[in-house]
């Protein structure tokens, strides 16, 4: 399975840990590549474009996880959720068919790995009420 991953400087160490720990996952590392200060929107947009163009999952990391998730969601076709638990990851896949999960760089490294595994292994349940809501989001995106 291919998963795209990107971070700003504050998420760089966690990103490296995730890639090194999850050897069974093929990560496409979209940067940043150091702890030198950088702007999260640059990497959020790269990640969002990659995920939508390649129909894969993504992982986004910044200091809070909030800024990068907001920026990811500006890319048409992205449904990014900032999560902090396995339950969050499962719900956002089950209900929202999210394709990117975002983290705070402060999350436990082990917990992040467990959450990513849950996220990429969970399937969208396609409950009619959730499909209807996602279609509403997609319609809005197309009209703007």
- H helices present in 1-144, as ranges: 12-21, 40-54, 66-72, 86-96, 109-121, 128-143
pLDDT digits (tens, 9 = 90+) for 67-115: 999 999 999 999 999 999 999 999 999 999 999 999 999 999 999 999 9
pLDDT tens, 30-76?
Answer: 999 999 999 999 999 999 999 999 999 999 999 999 999 999 999 99
User: Between 1 and 61, where is the model more confident?
Assistant: 61
pTM: 0.96
Q: How far apart are CA 58 and CA 101, in angstroms?
A: 6
Question: Structural domains in the chain?
Answer: 2-143 (3.40.1400.10)
Is 90 exceeded by the pLDDT of residue 1?
no
62: which strand partners?
104
Burial grade of 41 (CB within 10 A; 0-12, 13-18, 19 or more): middle
User: Cα dihedral sign for 94, 95, 99, 101?
Assistant: negative
pLDDT at position 144, please?
81
Nearest C-alpha neighbor of 98 from the set 54, 52, 41, 44? 52
């Amino acid at each position: 399975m291919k998963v795209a991953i990107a971070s700003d400087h504050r998420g760089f160490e966690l990103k490296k840990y995730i890639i090194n720990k999850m050897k069974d996952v093929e990560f496409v590392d979209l940067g940043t590549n150091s702890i030198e200060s950088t702007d999260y929107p640059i990497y959020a947009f790269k990640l969002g474009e990659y995920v939508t163009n390649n129909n894969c999952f993504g992982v986004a990391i910044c200091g809070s996880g909030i800024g990068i998730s907001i920026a990811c969601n500006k890319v048409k076709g992205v449904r990014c959720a900032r999560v902090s638990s396995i339950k969050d990851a499962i719900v956002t896949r089950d209900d929202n068919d999210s394709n990117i999960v975002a983290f705070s760089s402060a999350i436990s490294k082990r917990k992040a790995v467990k959450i990513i595994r849950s996220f990429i292994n969970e399937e969208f349940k396609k409950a009619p009420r959730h499909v209807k809501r996602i279609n509403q989001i997609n319609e809005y995106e197309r009209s703007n």
